[in-house]
Amino acid sequence: MPQCRVNFYRACRFTLVALLLSNLTAQAQAEYSAVSKTESLQFNGITDLSEQQVGKIVFKQISQQLELPVEVELIPAKRAEREVNLGDAAGEIMRIYAYGVDNSNVIRVPTPYYSLKTTAFALKDNPHAQRLVNNINQANIGVVHGGKHTSHYVHSAKSVIQVSSTEQMMKLVRYKRVDLALTSYLDGLQFLKHNSIHGIVPLKSDVASHNLYIYLNHQHADLVPLFDDKIKQLKRTGQLAKMIRDAEAQVLAMQ
């Protein structure tokens, strides 16, 4: 058989295989799209934290733009983490970078879509509070159990009391059982505002700042590029910043 005819047959065979693969890929995408529009995916967030309430609002708006039906439940941090690791939930809506390091069964959407500032709150008339922010190893602190952005201080502070809510943590400050309460700035501010508490204040310098990411169980890894591309697009257009401002205002106005 002449060489040109062999090359022709080879080219035809390659083209046929490519077309078959293309059709299979298109079919798989169509099937996924059809399923995703009829079945809601369960996502978890952390209860009783203001930035998670902001995240829930913004995350659902991002998902809506992707035409991806989702349900978001805010539950205790440890339970949320366990369910995502086991695959009982598709992912978590908002966690810091270290969450992905600590959990091998999850995959991080590379682009963060929010951030939080770990802030110390103290009695307004505590003369030592500001100094202790820079000397956590000398401070008695209160934290909400399971919060990743404050977990480091559990091991570095002089003493720690872990509680299940911001309300309980602020009571520790009020009754002078701890020097500092560590939480996000937005979370602490919302609690103080809604409860008309003026004797506890955020201290001037933030303890730390953290980017916040969407995490998915590995069985939903195909959603990572979809979320990542959408977040990048929303950032470029300025729409994400507006979504966050509106969500923060909504959360601060909640009773």
Q: What is the pLDDT of residues 41-58, one digit of tens each?
A: 999 999 988 899 999 999
Q: Look at residue 2 in the predicted model and tell me its pLDDT.
A: 54
Beta bridge partners of residue 183, listed in sequence order: 119
Dmax of the chain from CA atoms?
A: 96
Average pLDDT over the chain reads 87
Mean pLDDT for 119-124 is 96
3-class DSSP state of 78 = helix
Within the chain, how many helices (H) and strands (E) appear? 10, 10
C-alpha angle 150/249/198, rounded to 5°? 65
Choice among 11-25, 205-219, 227-241 with the minimum mean pLDDT? 11-25
Q: How far is CA 94 from CA 151, 169, 240, in A?
A: 16, 22, 15
Q: Look at residue 228 in the predicted model and tell me its pLDDT.
A: 98
Q: What is the pLDDT of residues 242-251, one digit of tens each?
A: 999 999 999 9
197: buried, middle or exposed (CB in 10 Å: 19+, 13-18, 0-12)?
A: middle
Cα–Cα distance measured from residue 96 to residue 147, given in angstroms and rounded to the nearest whole number: 10
Contact between 122 and 181 (Cβ < 8 Å)? yes
Amino acid letter, residue 91: G
Mean pLDDT for 197-224 is 93
Strands (E), 158-239: 159-163, 180-184, 200-202, 208-217
Cα–Cα distance measured from residue 61 to residue 39, given in angstroms and rounded to the nearest whole number: 17
Torsion-angle region of 176 (φ positive above 0: left; ψ -120 to 50: alpha; else: beta): left
Cα–Cα distance measured from residue 143 to residue 141, given in angstroms and rounded to the nearest whole number: 7
Q: Look at residue 120 in the predicted model and tell me its pLDDT.
A: 94
Amino acid letter, residue 228: D
Amino acid letter, residue 241: A
Q: Look at residue 28 in the predicted model and tell me its pLDDT.
A: 37
User: Per-residue confidence at 177, pLDDT binned at 50, 70, 90?
Assistant: very high
- 173's CB contacts (< 8 A; 6+ apart) are 121, 122, 123, 142, 180, 181, 200
What sign for the dihedral angle of Cα 182, 54, 69, 95?
negative
Q: Is pLDDT of 61 > 90? A: yes
Q: Is pLDDT of 40 > 60? A: yes
Q: Is pLDDT of 84 > 60? A: yes
Cα–Cα distance measured from residue 58 to residue 53, given in angstroms and rounded to the nearest whole number: 9
- 139's CB contacts (< 8 A; 6+ apart) are 132, 157, 158, 178, 179, 180
Which of 89, 144, 94, 156 lies closest to 119, judged by CA?
144
What sign for the dihedral angle of Cα 21, 22, 23, 24?
positive
